[in-house]
Amino acid sequence: MHYEIPAPSIPQLRRIPPFDLLADGALHRLLSGSKLIRAERGEILAQAQDVATSIHIVLDGEVRCVLLSPSGNEKLLRLVGAGDLYGEEAALLGRHYMATVQAQRQTRLLVVPVAAFRHAMAETAAFAQAITMRLAAAAYELMAHLQLCVQLNSTQRVAQYLAQLAPEDAERWEIHLSSDKQTIAAQLNLTPETFSRVLSRFAREGLIRTEGRRRVVLDKLSQLRNCAAQ
Amino acid sequence: MHYEIPAPSIPQLRRIPPFDLLADGALHRLLSGSKLIRAERGEILAQAQDVATSIHIVLDGEVRCVLLSPSGNEKLLRLVGAGDLYGEEAALLGRHYMATVQAQRQTRLLVVPVAAFRHAMAETAAFAQAITMRLAAAAYELMAHLQLCVQLNSTQRVAQYLAQLAPEDAERWEIHLSSDKQTIAAQLNLTPETFSRVLSRFAREGLIRTEGRRRVVLDKLSQLRNCAAQ
DNA sequence: CGTAGTGTTGAATAAGGTCAAGCATTGTGG
DNA sequence: CCACAATGCTTGACCTTATTCAACACTACG
């Protein structure tokens, strides 16, 4: 990490929910013990097994939370972009991280000690409530993740992933992939090879067309949805 | 469900955390809209896809939360015993359940409408904080679950499961399985057959001995731990 | 003693992963 | 603008792993 300076006042933070709920004084107190750090692509920001002592807020850039297996296999849990935060669960519980956190590209983060965070929650009920809802949403997302990865086969996973990127009622939709295919494969807990094979099978069956590296045309969304829910 | 009556005052609930944090008045208000229901073994208490409108507290008995796949496959998420509750995430978010909930045996539950629950949280900060910590713990558990089911192979999963039932420093330990082997297999996202095969391989290699149906002697815990973390 | 529920074992199968080769796309420096 | 490297993507052959199906054994309980 390139530099680490106190961050007593970050006007940027005012606009990032849930920190917009804090009054000036509360925000200042929260930030008085915080540090601003910068990380380059690939840098490790938190190791699984480290005890979490702070909450990290991504100001700009992007970080990836991955689960590492003993055999070196990695599974992408989520991408955290600007304005988002991570580490609440582990830090609030005072346990070690489950995931390893790595900068995806050059990233600036705010590191808030958990004590200050807890204090802000005690001080501002609306803030505490927002955090509670975030945690509920996180648990909910994880259940969805578990269902996707544990229960569905590769075809269903890919179909579901593609279908959910289009509006509910559409039959044809053109999408631009938000990351490269390896990353998407990792989110779906597939190898790039398997992901590629499923896509080309869908293409052969006329359900989709891939144009270039990141453009996919979903031609038969109803069939795709059917594929996912079968 | 056999009967459904108002439950304005349940002395039992005073002792169940986090409800012990509520003052008399708050507890009464929470319960005034609640219902007491009884379910027989096998009864479905909540379907995935139902919108969650209440939090369920298990007074006695046991329920299982399972993820159902389109193909009918089921994965056990957790068992909820007396004094525990479920449905907070979905109900607080106002979304549908991810899991299907089924009574494992005869069970009495308290059904608390989410509005009353939210009101109690707003009214009593300590209660809200306890709920927040529960949600953090739930998210944390789910990540552990995800790591176990997605990343480890069957051998590692079983080894890890067995090893964690013994104290950290022991080398030999005798355990009594808390449920039947099918249920444990479901928790580990394995078929009963695969689970049985792994156990008998461990037995053949002298790492464990199974005595009767529910008794397992872990003879070489260090090797077992090694097996899990490899 | 018989039955239902539970656990074990084997053989066949299918699904994905791994390895390796080659093609395509993007970006860079001359 | 082109050559080239680097990276990402695709495809095929093969292999590992766990599931499925089926038969059978064990246990508990009436």
Could you give the CA distance from residue B218 to residue B94 in angstroms, rounded to a whole number? 45
Q: What is the pLDDT of residue B5?
A: 57
Q: What is the pLDDT of residue B4?
A: 56
Judge: B189–A128 Cβ closer than 8 Å, yes or no. Answer: no
Interface of B with A in 181-220 (CB under 8 A): 189
Q: What is the pLDDT of residue B217?
A: 94
D14 C1' to A46 CA distance, Å: 38
Considering chain B, tell me which residue range(s) the CATH 2.60.120.10 domain(s) occupy. 4-139
Could you give the CA distance from residue A187 to residue B126 in angstroms, rounded to a whole number? 37
- Tell how far CA B123 is from the center of its chain: 28
Could you give the CA distance from residue A36 to residue A39 in angstroms, rounded to a whole number? 10
Token pair for B18: 């986090």
Segment among A61-75, B88-102, B145-159, B175-189 with least mean pLDDT: A61-75
* CATH number, domain A4-136: 2.60.120.10
Closest protein CA to C1' of nucleotide D10, residue: A196
Q: Is the pLDDT of residue A221 over 80?
A: yes
* CATH number, domain B4-139: 2.60.120.10
Could you give the CA distance from residue B97 to residue A78 in angstroms, rounded to a whole number? 21
Dihedral angle, C-alpha B13, B14, B15, B21, nearest 10 °? 120
Q: What is the pLDDT of residue A33?
A: 86
Could you give the CA distance from residue B119 to residue B124 in angstroms, rounded to a whole number? 9
* 3-state DSSP assignment of residue B155: helix
Q: What are the tens digits of pLDDT across the range A120-159?
A: 999 999 999 999 999 999 999 999 999 998 889 999 999 9
CB distance from A46 to chain B under 8 Å?
no
Q: Is the pLDDT of residue B9 over 60?
A: no
Assess whether B179 (CB) lies less than 7 A from strand D: no
Average pLDDT over residues A95-108: 91
Segment among B2-11, B96-105, B119-128 with least mean pLDDT: B2-11
| Candidate from B98, B138, B152 with C-beta closest to A144 | B98
For residue B12, name the pLDDT band (cuts at 50, 70, 90): confident
- C-beta separation of B1 from B43 below 8 A: yes
Taking alpha carbons only, the member of A81, A94, A36 closest to residue A179 is: A81
pTM to 2 decimal places? 0.90
Considering chain B, tell me which residue range(s) the CATH 1.10.10.10 domain(s) occupy. 154-228
- List chain B residues with CB under 8 Å of A156: 70
* 3-state DSSP assignment of residue B42: coil
* H helical segments located in B108-124: 114-123
- List chain B residues with CB under 8 Å of A151: 67-69, 73, 75
Assess whether A106 (CB) lies less than 7 A from strand D: no
Residue B25's H or E segment, with its range, is: helix B24-32
Q: What is the pLDDT of residue B139?
A: 96
CA A51 to each of CA A30, A54, A95, A114, B47: distance values in angstroms, whole numbers, following the listed order: 21, 9, 5, 12, 37
Nearest nucleic acid nucleotide to B180, CA to C1' distance: C6
* CATH number, domain A154-228: 1.10.10.10
Considering chain A, tell me which residue range(s) the CATH 2.60.120.10 domain(s) occupy. 4-136
Q: What is the pLDDT of residue A7?
A: 54
DSSP notation for A140-207: HHHHHHHHHHHHS-HHHHHHHHHHTTS-TT-SSEEEE-SS-HHHHHHHTT--HHHHHHHHHHHHHTTS
Nearest-CA distance from B147 to chain A in Å? 7
φ, ψ at B33 (rounded to 5°): -100, 5
For residue A9, name the pLDDT band (cuts at 50, 70, 90): low
Could you give the CA distance from residue A148 to residue A161 in angstroms, rounded to a whole number? 9
Interface test with B, best of A69, A100, A143, A191 (most B CBs within 10 A): A143
Judge: B140–A189 Cβ closer than 8 Å, yes or no. Answer: no
- List chain B residues with CB under 8 Å of A55: none
CB distance from B126 to chain A under 8 Å?
no
Q: What is the pLDDT of residue A13?
A: 83
Could you give the CA distance from residue B5 to residue B3 in angstroms, rounded to a whole number? 6
Token pair for A61: 């850039």
φ, ψ at A221 (rounded to 5°): -65, -35
Average pLDDT over residues A56-74: 88
Q: Cβ contacts of residue A201 below 8 Å, gap of 6+?
A: A155
Q: Which residue do the tokens 């009594």 mark?
A: B176
D27 C1' to B122 CA distance, Å: 53
C8 C1' to B153 CA distance, Å: 21
| Candidate from B89, B133, B143 with C-beta closest to A92 | B133
Assess whether B106 (CB) lies less than 7 A from strand D: no
Q: Is the pLDDT of residue B42 over 90?
A: no
Closest protein CA to C1' of nucleotide D19, residue: B191
Average pLDDT over residues A82-96: 95
Q: Which chain C positions come under 7 Å from a protein C-beta? A: 6-11, 15-20, 25-26
- C-beta separation of A59 from A112 below 8 A: no
Q: Is the pLDDT of residue B59 over 70?
A: yes
Query: In percent, how much of chain B has pLDDT > 70?
Result: 96
Could you give the CA distance from residue A88 to residue A108 in angstroms, rounded to a whole number? 18
Could you give the CA distance from residue B210 to residue B226 in angstroms, rounded to a whole number? 20
- C-beta separation of B154 from B202 below 8 A: no
Assess whether A190 (CB) lies less than 7 A from strand D: no
- C-beta separation of B20 from B10 below 8 A: no
Average pLDDT over residues A157-177: 94
C18 C1' to A195 CA distance, Å: 15
Q: What is the pLDDT of residue A5?
A: 57
Nearest-CA distance from A86 to chain B in Å? 12
Q: What are the tens digits of pLDDT across the range B73-84?
A: 888 999 999 889
Taking alpha carbons only, the member of A126, A117, A110, A133 closest to residue A57 is: A110
Residues 202-221 of chain A: which lie with beta carbon within 7 Å of strand D?
A: 210, 213-214
Q: Is the pLDDT of residue A104 over 90?
A: no
Average pLDDT over residues B123-147: 95
Residue pairs between chains A and B whose CB atoms are closer than 8 Å: 131
Q: What is the pLDDT of residue A73?
A: 82
Q: What is the pLDDT of residue B14?
A: 85
Assess whether B34 (CB) lies less than 7 A from strand D: no
